[in-house]
Chains A and B, each alone.
Chain A
Amino acid sequence: MSIEVRGLRKSFGRTLAVDDLSFTVAPGRVTGFVGPNGAGKSTTMRMILGLDRPDAGTALVGGRPYRSLLRPLTEVGALLDASAIHPGRRAKDHLLWQAHSAGLPSRRVDEVLEQVGLSAVARKRAGGFSLGMRQRLGIAGALLGDPRVLMFDEPVNGLDPEGIVWIRELLRAQAARGRAILISSHLMGELEGTADHLIVIGRGRLVADAGVSELVSAASGDRVVVRTSQRSEAITVLANAGATVASTDRDTVTVGGMPGERITALLGAAGVPFSELKAHRASLEETYMELTRETVEYTGQDLTVGEVR
């Protein structure tokens, strides 16, 4: 059971929110859906769920449009907005009406509350919940029907580190069961270790659609990280030799455009001590910044200080 999006387009007034978007979310892995704020992630998710009507294109779940699914909650579970709860309603009742309208037995409510760790506060009114608790409640709702497809819009927002770990485990477990998982975020760091595949969008358009390892190595390039106590000397030597050098830390230097052996030779010849030499692996954050640099809508002022190229 997968999600297939083809040529999706949607405008709100004069703003083009989603522009000719096509991708597939395959089962058995966690797909990260990333992009800057306002890139069109939430809109895309809503179109997949048949809530917003696309101007063009199709979004299919298991080869069929969402609205034609017989029992949607058992096929697709989604968390779109953690604060979509009536504050005066008890957590249990919030899940209970969902179960009723989906034709699921009431005991599922207790089961998912247990699963997300909210059993103790089942009878409390949602108005008193913290953001993290609300997220968990939303996740519980998505899990009610034990669906084959899961879509979470910014689920990590507001979770403490413990919560982030918990979610990662939950999603990986679901993926291992063969579910298709789509999880969106605008902070790449959260997806580190969770996502296997990335769909990157910017300004409504597809920027990248590939496995995490591919993207990371592409972003990493052939750069080498050198750990040295004499940074400025190292920079001088290597830069004079024609490499692009960036200093990221007090004691590390990232070198591009020069194979590792040559770096070793140069530094050795110049007498610059170094303790570590390894291939640079871009963080997901960096990967993402690289990919979306052109497409970020809202940038602050460029505040790079002391960067040497």
Chain B
Amino acid sequence: MTGFLRLMRAEWTKLRSVRSTVVCLVFAVGLVALTAAIGGSGSTTDANSSGPPHADSVQFAFQSLDGDGSITARLVSQQETGPDAKAGLLLRTAVEQNSPYAAIMVTAGYGVRWQGNFAPDVAGTVGKAPRWLRLTRSGGTVTGFESPDGKAWAQVGSVTLPDAPRAVAVGMFVASPPTGLKNVRRGPGATESGPDWTVSTAVFDSVAVVTATGAPVDGAWQNIDTSGPLPELPDTEITGSFTRDGDRFTLTGAGNLGLLPYGYGADSDVVRDSFSGIYLSAIAIAVLSVLFITSEFSRGVIRITFAINPRRGRVLAAKAAVLGLVAFVTGVFSAVVAFLISQPLLRDNGFRPPAYPDYSLTDWVVVRAVLGTGLILALFALFALAMGTLLRRGAGAITLAIGVLVFPFIIGAFLSLEAESWLRRLTPMAGLAVQQTMRRLDDVITPGPGLAVLASYVVVALGLAYWQLRRRDP
């Protein structure tokens, strides 16, 4: 093993003893920093001026309850349009959006949940429909219960609603949040994104609204369809419905209820965006890598290298190891610098709590993104090295390296959406997914697979380079 370390030491000596190395590395860090500064200064948001992110748009079928009482129903079935699809019982002090409420519901992915007026969800049992649910109201206090059979009831949560009037609206509701992003092409190079709303269907039976004394309340059922034109895509119109067939009530609708996680929907991943200069930095690193190998070929130094070490594969591996390490360290360093530059700028421009959490370098998501950035840069460097080894001439190698790494990003905007999303999944730029710090709906690929795509390009390229290196005369 010391033999290989010797080789690495020799390659490191080669790298550090040439002036162009320092120039490339300075540019690599500088470009990321510059991009972070520009991106940070040039982006503003007013997310905080609209209050904490929450949603209140559901399909609500209700009656009026005067005074204390309860509503009980069995959720027979729920169409699982996504893990956050909700169906259950809702009590509101008023019918308008964002008025105080309490709800007990079944979520498709997480089981029974209780929401007390835009407070975080309280979890009940993990289960699916069919399920019995109940809300009881006593003065200003509302309590939620669940039961598997309608006989044995377990309390899930309780809340006191402020200024609750005597008459409240109680009933059933259904909501179905978006599970993906809908991209709309406004023209070549112009895209708009918004959540892709889906409609879910819920069926209830054994519905009973009773007063505190046990007297049934059997008024007319009204329904509010709050899932009309939804914010982000004005041309999208989703309609819900409410039908009653004797004892069975069927509700359909899209929307959501309750607190939303940070970054829900089309919000920005500011941590990742501050590292986006890595694209430009990759060019500087590609130059370093290409020069590292092609300068040996153009001057014939490669013959000395292979005369001293005839095992060419090990030489290539040593170059790759040294270059990879240097690129990794540069990438991590650049990411840290970019983070430190952009975060204060972004905070001044409105990207702060509660809408955007205050991240620091010690947070795991940030650490992961920083390390991921280093990893991407190292992989880019190795890809460029492979190109240089294959083509042996700088001009072709750098064009190919830059082309494969950067071009799909540019060209994608002009193709159809389908083509672009495939491009982003199957070309090396998929590797950028490791920089994600939050789950955005428009990310076409997650960090793991994305990195795997980039890594496979590198492996194939280096494999080709190794094969050619052994075959051809230097």
Direct contact of A and B (CB under 8 A): yes
Considering residues B3, B11, B18, which has the most beta carbons from chain A within 10 angstroms of its beta carbon?
B18
CA–CA, A78 to B18, complex, Å? 24
Report yes or no: A89 in contact with B10, Cβ–Cβ below 8 A. Answer: no
Judge whether A96 and B13 touch: CB under 8 Å: yes
- A51–B13 CB distance below 8 A: no
Pairwise interchain contact A101-B305, C-beta atoms closer than 8 A: yes
Q: Is the CB of B6 within 8 A of A86?
A: no
| B-binding segment of A18-26, A66-74, A110-118, A292-300 | A66-74
B18 touches A86 (CB 8 A): yes
A243 CB–B CB distance under 8 Å: no
A-side contacts of B303, CB under 8 Å: 46, 49, 51, 80-81, 84
Query: Which residues 296-334 in B have Cβ within 8 Å of A in the complex?
Result: 299-301, 303-311
Q: Give complex CA distance A103, B9 in Å.
A: 10
- Among A78, A86, A94, the one with the most B-chain Cβ atoms within 10 Å of its Cβ is A86
Q: Is the CB of A93 within 8 A of B13?
A: yes
C-beta contact mask, B1-18 vs A, less than 8 Å → 1, else 0? 001001101110110011
Which chain B residues border A46 with CB–CB below 8 Å?
303, 473
Does B295 have its Cβ within 8 Å of any Cβ on chain A? Answer: yes
B7, B11, B473: the one contacting A51 at CB < 8 Å is: B473
Are B304 and A141 interface neighbours, CB within 8 A?
yes
How far is it, in angstroms, between the C-alpha of A66 and the C-alpha of B11 when the chains are bound? 22
Nearest A residue to B20 via CB reads A88
A66 with B310: CB separation less than 8 A: yes
Task: With A78-B307, A93-B13, A97-B13 as known contacts, state yes or no: A85 contacts B301, CB within 8 Å.
Answer: yes
A80 with B308: CB separation less than 8 A: no
Q: Are A72 and B308 in contact (CB under 8 A)?
A: yes
Give the contact-size bracket for chain B. Answer: 20 to 34
Q: Within the complex, what minimum Cβ distance (angstroms) separates A33 from chain B?
A: 17
Contact indicator B6/A89 (Cβ below 8 Å): no
Q: Is A102 located at the chain interface by the 8 A CB criterion?
A: yes
Within the assembled complex, what's the spacing in Å between the Cα atoms of A235 and B77?
Answer: 127
Of all chain A residues, the one with the shortest Cβ separation from B470 is A53
CB closest chain-B residue, reference A97: B13
Selected from B6, B473, B474, the residue in CB contact (under 8 A) with A103 is: B6
Q: Is A213 engaged at the interface, CB distance under 8 Å to the other chain?
A: no
Chain B residue with minimal CB distance to A52?
B473
**With a CB–CB cut-off of 8 A, which chain A residues contact B186?**
none
A97 is contacted by which of B14, B20, B295 (Cβ under 8 Å)?
Answer: B14
**B residues less than 8 Å from A83 (CB atoms):** 299-300
Is B19 in contact with chain A by the CB < 8 A criterion? yes
B17 engages A97 (CB within 8 Å)? yes
CB distance from B287 to the nearest CB of A (A): 15
Nearest to A66 among chain B residues (CB) is: B310
**Cβ B300 vs Cβ A84 within 8 A:** yes
Determine whether A283 belongs to the interface, using a CB cutoff of 8 Å to chain B: no
When the two chains form the complex, which single residue of A53, A72, A86, A97 contacts B299, counting CB atoms closer than 8 Å? A86
Q: Closest B-chain residue to A145, C-beta based?
A: B308
Contact A101 B7 (CB under 8 A): yes
Task: Tell me which residues from 236 to 293 in chain A have a Cβ below 8 Å from any Cβ of chain B.
Answer: none
- Assuming A86-B299, A141-B304, is B10 touching A98 (CB within 8 A)? yes
Q: Are the C-beta atoms of B301 and A101 separated by less than 8 Å? A: no
Q: Which residues does chain A contribute within 8 Å of B295, judged by CB atoms?
A: 86
A251 to B3, CA, bound (A): 67
Residues of chain A lying within 8 A (CB to CB) of residue B20: 88
Is A73 a contact partner of B300 (Cβ separation < 8 A)? Answer: no
Closest chain B CB from A123 CB (angstroms): 11
Interface: A62 (CB within 8 A): no
Answer whether residue A177 sits at the interface, using C-beta atoms and an 8 A cutoff: no
Minimum distance in angstroms from A124 CB to a CB of chain B: 13
Name the distance in Å between A66's Cβ and chain B's nearest Cβ: 6
Measured CB to CB, the closest approach of chain A to B194, in angstroms, equals 53
- A84-B301, A101-B305, A103-B3 known; A89 and B310 CB under 8 Å? no
Is B6 a contact partner of A100 (Cβ separation < 8 A)?
Answer: yes
B14 close to A81 (CB less than 8 A): no
Instruction: Evaluate contact between B17 and A93: CB separation under 8 angstroms.
Output: yes
Contacts A84-B301, A86-B299, A101-B305 given; indicate if A72 touches B3 (C-beta within 8 A).
no
Q: Which of B109-155 contact A (CB under 8 A)?
A: none
Query: Nearest 6 A-B pairs (CB), nearest first?
Result: A101-B10, A93-B17, A100-B10, A84-B300, A97-B13, A67-B310
Write 18 A-B pairs (CB below 8 A) sorted by A numbering. A46-B473, A66-B310, A67-B311, A72-B310, A81-B303, A84-B299, A85-B299, A86-B299, A86-B301, A89-B14, A89-B17, A96-B17, A97-B14, A98-B308, A100-B9, A101-B9, A101-B10, A101-B309
| Seed contacts A102-B308, A103-B6; 4 additional CB < 8 Å A-B pairs | A46-B303, A49-B303, A67-B310, A97-B14
Q: Which residues of B contact A (CB under 8 A)?
A: 3, 6-7, 9-11, 13-14, 17-20, 295, 299-301, 303-311, 473-474
